[in-house]
Chains A and B, each alone.
Chain A
Amino acid sequence: MKNNIKVERAIHNITQAKLAEMIGVSRQTINAMELNKYVPSTVLALKISEIFKKPVNKIFFLELED
C-alpha cells in the first residue's frame, strides 16, 4: 500500500511531529508510514483522512501486490 501523507502534509503545512500529535501517535510512526514501512490501522487511516478532510482512498492506495 502507498500513501501521499507527505504531500498532504505539505499542502496543509503540517510537520510530522504536529500530525503525530494531532492523531496521537509517535513522530516515528508518521515517518514509517511515509516511507511505506508501516501500514496503519483503519482507525489511524480514518483519523488522518479527517485531518486532511479527504476520503481515505484519496490518501491511501492499494498496490498491485496487495
Chain B
Amino acid sequence: MKSRFLFTHHYKPIGWVIFVIGFILGIILMLNDYNYPDWEVSVFPLISENDIFSKPALEWSTNNIADEIASIFIIVGGILVSFSKTKDEDEYISKIRMESLIWATYVNYIILIITILFVFDISFFNVLIFNMFTILLFFMVRFHYELFKLKNVKEDEE
C-alpha cells in the first residue's frame, strides 16, 4: 500500500542523530537557564514588542541562537524519526502509526488543558516551551512502543 506524506526509511537514522543532538543541546541550555552555550550571532527580527526587553523589529541585532538551533534540531529530527517509513512499513503499521498520532494528540492537549488551568506566569511559559515538542515526543514513544510490542509477538507456527 502506498503511504502518502512519509519519508523513505533512510531518513530515520539521520532523524535520530539530529534529534539527539537537539535534545542534548536543549537539556544543556535548560540546566543553564538558557544562557549557556552562548552563540551570539546577528539576527533580523521580523516582529517585536515595543518595550525595553525586546530587540526592535526590522533592525539587525544580536541574539544567542543556541536555543533556536536546539528547537529546530528537535523538531526536524523528531519529524524525520516520526514520519520516515519503518523498514517493513505496510498497511498494518500505517494503521498503528495513525492511531499513535491520534493518541499523542489527545494526550498532548489533555496535559496542555490541565496546565492551562493550574499553571500560571513564567511557569506556564515553560510549559509552552515544552509543548512545542511534546506532541512529537508522545507520538515517538507510543509508536515505537507499539512496534516493539508487535516485534515481540511469538510466531505461533505449527
Query: What is the interface of chain A, defined by CB distance below 8 A to chain B?
Result: 10, 15-17, 24-29, 31-32, 38, 40-41, 43-44
Question: Once the chains bind, are B91 and A27 in contact (CB under 8 Å)?
Answer: no
Cα distance, A32 to B155, chains bound together (Å) = 11
Which residues of chain B come closer than 8 Å to A41, judged between CB atoms? 1, 91
B90 at the interface (CB under 8 A from A): yes
Contact A44 to B157, CB < 8 A, known contacts A28-B150, A28-B151: no
What would be 5 A-B contacts, judged by CB atoms less than 8 Å apart? A10-B158, A17-B155, A26-B90, A28-B153, A31-B156
- The contact size tier of chain B is 10 to 19
Cα distance, A4 to B75, chains bound together (Å) = 44
Question: Once the chains bind, are A44 and B91 in contact (CB under 8 Å)?
Answer: yes
Cα distance, A24 to B91, chains bound together (Å) = 10
Question: Once the chains bind, are A26 and B93 in contact (CB under 8 Å)?
Answer: yes
B5 at the interface (CB under 8 A from A): no
Which residue, of A29, A43, A44, has the highest number of chain B Cβ atoms within 10 A? A29
Question: Once the chains bind, are B91 and A29 in contact (CB under 8 Å)?
Answer: yes
Which residues of chain B come closer than 8 Å to A26, judged between CB atoms? 88, 90, 92-93
Question: Once the chains bind, are B155 and A27 in contact (CB under 8 Å)?
Answer: yes
Which residues of chain B come closer than 8 Å to A24, judged between CB atoms? 90
Question: Once the chains bind, are B153 and A40 in contact (CB under 8 Å)?
Answer: no
B97 smallest CB distance to A (angstroms):
13
Which residues of chain A come closer than 8 Å to B95, judged between CB atoms? 38
Residue of A nearest to B155 (CB): A16
